[in-house]
Amino acid sequence: MTADRAITIFLRLYIGVVFCFVFAPIVASFVFSFNSDRFPTVPLGHFTLHWYETIYNDPDVWDALQVSVLTALAVSVVSTFIGFCTAYTDFRYKFFGKNAYLALALLPPTIPLVIMGLAMLAWLSRIGMSGQIYSIMIAHVVMCTPFAMAIIRLRLAQMDPSLEAAAWNLGASEWRAMRSVIVPFALPAIISAMCLTAAVSFDEFAVAWFVSGLNKSIPVVILEVLQGQVDPQINAIGTFVFLTSMTLVVIAQVLLMTRSKKEQPA
Amino acid sequence: MTDDTAGRIADPSAASSARGRTGLYALVWRVPLLVWQFLFFVVPLAFLVYLSFWLVKNYRMIPGFDAINWVKMYSKGYFWDAYYLTFAMAAVATVVASALAFPCAYALSFKVSETVRRWAIFFLIIPFFTSYLVRIYAWQVILAENGVINGLLALRDLGPVAMLNTKFGTLVGYLTLCMPLVVILQTFSLANVDRNLIEAAHNLGCGRIRTVFTVIVPLAKVGLIIGAVFCFILSFGDFVSPYYLGGSRPPTLSILIIDTTKSGQQWPKAAVVAVTMIATLLVVAFAAVGAAYRKPK
| pLDDT tens for each residue of B167-210 | 899 999 999 999 999 999 999 999 888 888 888 888 888 878 88
Chain A contacts of B45, Cβ < 8 Å? Answer: 111, 119
- In order of A156, A189, A220, A266, B259, the CA distances from A185 in angstroms are 8, 9, 38, 19, 48
Q: What is the mean pLDDT of chain A?
A: 88
pLDDT computed for residue B198 by the predictor: 83
Contact A61, A222 (CB under 8 A): no
Residue B157 backbone zone (phi > 0: left; psi -120 to 50: alpha; other: beta) = left
- In order of B135, B202, B210, the CA distances from B185 in angstroms are 22, 26, 22
- A142/B239 CB distance under 8 A: no
- B267/A122 CB distance under 8 A: yes
pLDDT computed for residue B21 by the predictor: 60
Cα–Cα dist A203/A150, whole Å: 19
| pLDDT tens for each residue of A230-258 | 677 888 888 899 999 999 999 999 998 86
Contact B220, B108 (CB under 8 A): no
Cα–Cα dist A22/A42, whole Å: 20
Residue A187's closest CA among A152, A139, A231, A153?
A152
pLDDT computed for residue A140 by the predictor: 95
Q: Tell me how close the Cα of A265 comes to any Cα of chain B, in angstroms.
A: 18
- Nearest beta carbon to residue B36 from set A107, A123, A142: A142
Q: Which residue of B has its CA nearest to A251?
A: B126
Mutate to test the interface with A, among B33, B161, B190 (most CBs of A within 10 A): B33
Other C-beta atoms closer than 10 Å to the C-beta of B294 total: 9
Q: Tell me how close the Cα of B295 comes to any Cα of chain A, in angstroms.
A: 23
DSSP 8-state code for residue A83 = H
Q: Tell me how close the Cα of B78 comes to any Cα of chain A, in angstroms.
A: 19
What residues contact B223, with CB distance under 8 A and at least 6 apart?
A: B185, B186, B188, B189, B190, B192
| ipTM given for this complex | 0.88
Other C-beta atoms closer than 10 Å to the C-beta of A38 total: 11
Is pLDDT at B213 greater than 50 in this prediction?
yes
Number of residue pairs across A and B with CB atoms under 8 Å? 268
- B141/A28 CB distance under 8 A: yes
The count of residues in chain B is 297
Chain B contacts of A204, Cβ < 8 Å? Answer: none
| pLDDT tens for each residue of A146-205 | 999 999 999 999 888 888 889 888 988 889 889 989 999 999 999 999 999 999 999 999
Class of domain A59-262: mainly alpha
Show the CA angle centred on residue B66, arms to residues B65 and B67, nearest 5°: 130
Q: What is the CATH number of domain B69-293?
A: 1.10.3720.10
- Helix (H, G, I), strand (E, B), or coil: what is residue A252? helix
What residues contact A176, with CB distance under 8 A and at least 6 apart?
A: A167
- A119/B44 CB distance under 8 A: yes
Chain A contacts of B44, Cβ < 8 Å? Answer: 119-120, 122-124
The lowest-confidence range among A109-113, B17-21, B76-80, B140-144 is B17-21
- The domain spans of chain B are 12-51, 69-293
Chain B contacts of A95, Cβ < 8 Å? Answer: 1, 3, 22, 30
Is pLDDT at B14 greater than 80 in this prediction?
no
* One-letter-per-residue 3-state SS of B187-201: HHHHHCCCHHHHHHH
- In order of B32, B144, B265, B297, the CA distances from A33 in angstroms are 43, 17, 39, 57
What residues contact A157, with CB distance under 8 A and at least 6 apart?
A: A91
Pick B71 or A230 by higher pLDDT.
B71
Q: Tell me how close the Cα of A55 comes to any Cα of chain B, in angstroms.
A: 15
Mutate to test the interface with B, among A41, A209, A231 (most CBs of B within 10 A): A41
Q: Tell me how close the Cα of A185 comes to any Cα of chain B, in angstroms.
A: 17
- The domain spans of chain A are 59-262
| pLDDT tens for each residue of B225-246 | 999 999 999 999 999 999 989 8
Residue A239's closest CA among A36, A27, A17?
A27
Q: Looking at A60-170, which runs of residues are DSSP E strands?
A: none
- Helix (H, G, I), strand (E, B), or coil: what is residue A1? coil
